[in-house]
Copies of this chain bind each other. A is one copy, B any other.
């Protein structure tokens, strides 16, 4: 990651910290949110692995420093400091796939002020976006009730490389595949895809297109049937499937990408069944999200798999949440801000979670040094020591954690229209807040 992917103020503050002799003093920053994305009942931590990679590899190369010098904004002492800078902080973080809630630090950085401050923008960016997508995707997984989900968003993500993060985060949350070939390569996510309308149009007629595609892919492929008339397309696909079977091939499925998916899927299912093609599946796509998937499933539409693109890829309707990175302790002194609606809680922390009857039963945000509440498990784990990563895990392992934690979410938070989960701020944190307030 380019070290210049910072907000300018991180550099100017850094220069001032150096000038004031504060740059090496110990600071603790926390990454947390104050509210959930619109309509969400929980969040799933993701992007933490990328964030830790960024921190471990942070270096300013000669040409970066030369560019900063050329701006005329910085003095020699600060430029020299940047040229030799390494990230030497300790980091604790929730492992990817962990369910978290507002006021709970998902990641905490402790170390020299200059380094801990410099990484603000990148940490917020990387954890915010992947957590948003993982959480949105997790809601889709619940809505789909066990049906297969494929991520189709690459054309609509905000930036082409961002498609990788969308594919990764949605797979982490339980999706089954992605159309993004590079994401398949990089993360081992099963690749998936059908065909475009243009493929159908490149042939004289729809049947000729179906025949051509199954010549190249005789076993298990999916035909797009809505280019001209969906039900007629289903009949044509059925004829091609029957001929294919006579030659030893097998059509995998058909795809609907427009119209009333509930009604059309029933009519298409009837056509396929009538042709004896009960094993040919129906794949639906077209501006789907967790709400429209839940409606189709509740209506009993005979759809076997969903392709989810735009509305997941841009997280339409819940495009961001207020994840922030805030100073909570500096040079042994608890700190906080009081800005309207943006007040912070001072002190290094731990988040404790109780489980009852196999379900999450309430969390406590406590100071890092507090006694563990009885029967509760800590969520923040050591992730870096002195700037070196500790451990690490596979995407598959994080995916399993997300599935397990989703299974332990109370139905009230897991619902598409959820109610708040109980997060208690420990008395020790409240007391520290009062004493820090008194000191301002």
Enumerate chain A interface residues (CB-CB to B < 8 A). Answer: 1-2, 4-13, 15-17, 19-20, 22, 27, 29, 67-68, 71, 73, 113, 117, 120-122, 124-126, 128-129, 152, 154-163, 165, 179-182, 184-185, 191-202, 205, 212-213, 215-217, 221, 226-229, 257-259, 310, 314-316, 319-320, 326-327, 330-331, 335-342, 440
B9 lies within 8 A of A195 (CB): yes
- Other-chain residue from B122, B128, B156 in contact with A124 (beta carbon distance below 8 A): B156
- Note all chain B residues with C-beta closer than 8 A to A215: 16, 19-20
Whether A16 and B213, one on each chain, are in contact in the complex, defined by CB atoms closer than 8 angstroms, is yes
The answer to whether B185 touches A4 (Cβ under 8 A) is yes
Point out the residue from B68, B202, B213, B339 that lies within 8 Å of A113, measured CB to CB.
B202
Please tell me which one of the listed residues B117, B158, B197, B199 contacts residue A198 in the complex, with CB atoms under 8 A apart: B117
Residue of B nearest to A124 (CB): B155
Number of copies: 2
Q: 14 A-B contacts, Cβ less than 8 Å apart?
A: A5-B160, A7-B193, A12-B217, A13-B196, A13-B198, A16-B212, A71-B184, A71-B191, A121-B155, A157-B159, A158-B158, A158-B314, A159-B161, A227-B337
Give Cα distance in the complex from A242 to B195, angstroms.
Answer: 68
| Contact (Cβ within 8 A) B193 A8 | yes
The residue of chain B having its C-beta at the shortest distance from the C-beta of A226 within the complex is B339
B22 touches A202 (CB 8 A): yes
Q: Which residues of B contact A2 (CB under 8 A)?
A: 182
Contact between chains at A201 and B165 (CB < 8 Å): no
**Interfacial chain B residues near A198, Cβ < 8 Å:** 13, 27, 29, 117, 120, 326-327
Given contacts A125-B155, A155-B128, A227-B338, contact A160 B8 (CB under 8 A): no
Asked if residues A159 and B156 are in contact (CB atoms below 8 Å), the reply is no
Contact B159–A216 (Cβ < 8 Å): no
Chain B neighbourhood of A1, CB < 8 A: 160
Bound-state CA distance A287–B250 (Å) is 54
For A19, list chain B residues within 8 Å (CB): 212, 215-216
Residues on B with C-beta less than 8 A from A154 are: 5-7, 121, 125
Q: Is the CB of B125 within 8 A of A258?
A: no
Known: A7-B180, A8-B184. 18 other contacts (CB 8 A): A4-B181, A6-B181, A8-B192, A8-B193, A9-B179, A9-B193, A9-B196, A19-B216, A22-B202, A71-B184, A121-B155, A124-B155, A125-B163, A156-B320, A159-B165, A161-B161, A227-B337, A227-B339
Of residues A113, A179, A216, which shows the largest number of chain B Cβ atoms within 10 Å of its Cβ?
A: A216
Contact partner, A339, options B4, B185, B258, B310, Cβ 8 Å? B258
> Given the complex of chains A and B, what is the CA–CA distance between A152 and B213 in angstroms?
48
Shortest Cβ distance from A316 into B: residue: B319
A156 touches B182 (CB 8 A): no
Q: Is the CB of A67 within 8 A of B185?
A: yes
| Structural contact, B327 and A202, CB atoms closer than 8 A | yes
Taking A7-B181, A125-B154 as contacts, is the C-beta distance between A320 and B314 under 8 angstroms?
Answer: yes
Contact, CB under 8 Å: A126 / B9: no
Which residues of B sit under 8 angstroms from A13, Cβ to Cβ?
Answer: 195-196, 198-199, 213
A191–B29 touching, CB < 8 Å: no
Nearest CB of chain B from residue A256's CB, rounded to whole Å: 10
How far apart are A255's CB and chain B's nearest CB, in angstroms? 10
Minimal beta-carbon separation of A175 from chain B (angstroms): 14
Contacts of A156 in B (CB 8 A): 124-125, 128, 320
